[in-house]
Amino acid sequence: MHKHTFNTLILAALSGLFLTGCGRDPLSSAIRNIEQGHLQKAEQILAQSLQEDPSNLNALVNIYIIQYKNGQFDSALAGFIQVSDRAPNDPRPLEYAASIQMDNNHWPEAAALLGEALQRAPNSPSVQTALALVDLNTTGAGAARERLQKIITETPSYAPALFDLGVIHRDSLKNQSEAKKYFQRYLAIEKNDPHTVIAKIVMNEKGRKTSTPIAATLPRNPQLASEAFSEGIRHHQAHETEKAIEAYTRAIQNDPSMVRAHYNLGLLLRDKRDLPQARAEFEQAVSYAPGMADARYMLALVMIEQGFDADAADQLKALLEKAPRHAEAHLALGLLYKKDPTKRDLARKELNAYLKLDPNGILPKRSATG
């Protein structure tokens, strides 16, 4: 189980709950900017709102949410506690504070905060979902599963609990079929949530022995991510593989949606013949950027190297629908078809398309993208 996968869905659910009902005022604009990742602009709007009304708790909470997203955990934690004291009947500031404690593996502190939140809102599914993460890290996957199943028994359409049940079954209990059942229910409810990307990847997996690591989809510190990515490029170009892998991994930890970091990390892992992890990185790149032809092409190559020819052919055909002049994709698909005596005509067609696009037949070596 990737802890931040579980925790960031809790945060996403909390954000949606706390930020609703703000009306058509500057707060609505700030919220849209937060959701779009324009944190500095959102902070300016909120600061102006607080100048006009220092008692505006919604504006305060959103300021602390921005600090949370920027990795300023100490100030955000103190801020959420202060808001909680000023809104003694609202559990949500305590839930935010608990999320920060969980991010730092302070499980007893998180449990205490969530216990107080539960006193304020005994039937809150979001509090119970957060407590399931505490269960997972203190008692075990069985306890977390039981709590989440109780939530969906009482609130069948509560999407975060369905998603987290899918993650637990997939990553902790190693039960792919049960995981898919919960992800299917989740996808029937959620259409625009960023975590649908993860659920769709799982639903498309076909009996693989190796589990694709799930990365959190909400950026934690874009500035640190950018710095780590630049460091990775320098090491990559200097052929310092291990240092580049460490830097790209750090970039992804701070911004899991950084497509180029996933792609470049996949290249290095493939060079090391760590095909399962390379495939996972290319899958992440494709999930975030379906139109990135090179990422889909490299995903197909790794699938071929793993022996998943049918999956690779599907990826190559999807690529060529969007990029019909991708010579290497025609070549790879032609060679796949050539393995099957019944598809010789298709093989000839794809290989001819390749030669027309690249008469010299030279395949360029992939390089890191900056």
Q: What is the DSSP string of 80-125?
A: HHHHHHHSTT--HHHHHHHHHHHHTT-HHHHHHHHHHHHHH-TT-H
pLDDT at site 136: 85
pLDDT at site 15: 39
- Cα 301 to Cα 293: distance, rounded to the nearest angstrom: 12
pLDDT at site 18: 45
CA dihedral defined by 56, 61, 62, 63, rounded to 10 degrees? 90
- Cα 24 to Cα 148: distance, rounded to the nearest angstrom: 35
Going residue by residue through the chain, which has 370 residues, state the pLDDT in tens, using 9 for 90 and above: 333 344 433 443 343 334 433 444 677 888 777 766 677 888 898 899 889 888 888 888 888 888 877 778 889 899 999 999 998 998 989 998 998 888 777 889 999 999 999 999 998 998 999 999 889 888 888 998 999 999 999 999 988 889 889 888 887 788 888 989 998 998 898 876 555 656 676 676 654 443 333 333 343 577 788 888 999 999 998 899 999 999 998 888 888 878 899 999 999 999 988 888 899 999 988 887 877 888 999 999 999 998 889 899 999 998 898 888 888 899 999 999 999 889 989 989 998 888 888 777 654 445 555 5
Long-range contacts, 183-191 (Cβ 8 Å, 24+): 186/159, 186/162, 189/157, 189/159, 189/162, 190/159, 190/163
Check if the beta carbon of residue 159 is closer than 8 Å to that of residue 190.
yes
| Domain boundaries of the chain, sorted by first residue | 3-204, 222-357
Tokens of 23: 């009306």
Tokens of 66: 């921005």
**Torsion sign across C-alpha atoms 314, 301, 196, 206:** positive
Check if the beta carbon of residue 162 is closer than 8 Å to that of residue 186.
yes
pLDDT at site 198: 63
Specify the pTM: 0.53
DSSP 217-235: -S-S-HHHHHHHHHHHHHH
Tokens of 347: 């093989």
Q: What is the CATH number of domain 3-204?
A: 1.25.40.10
Check if the beta carbon of residue 53 is closer than 8 Å to that of residue 31.
no
- Cα 329 to Cα 326: distance, rounded to the nearest angstrom: 6
pLDDT at site 37: 63
Which residue's entry shows tokens 């909470």?
A: 61
Query: Under 8 Å CB-to-CB from 17, ≥6 apart: which residues?
Result: 92, 126
**222-357 and 3-204 share a CATH fold:** yes
Angle subtended by helix axes 73-86 and 57-69, to nearest 10: 160
Tokens of 166: 């899918």
pLDDT at site 363: 47
pLDDT at site 286: 86
pLDDT at site 197: 59
Superfamily of domain 222-357: Tetratricopeptide repeat domain (1.25.40.10)
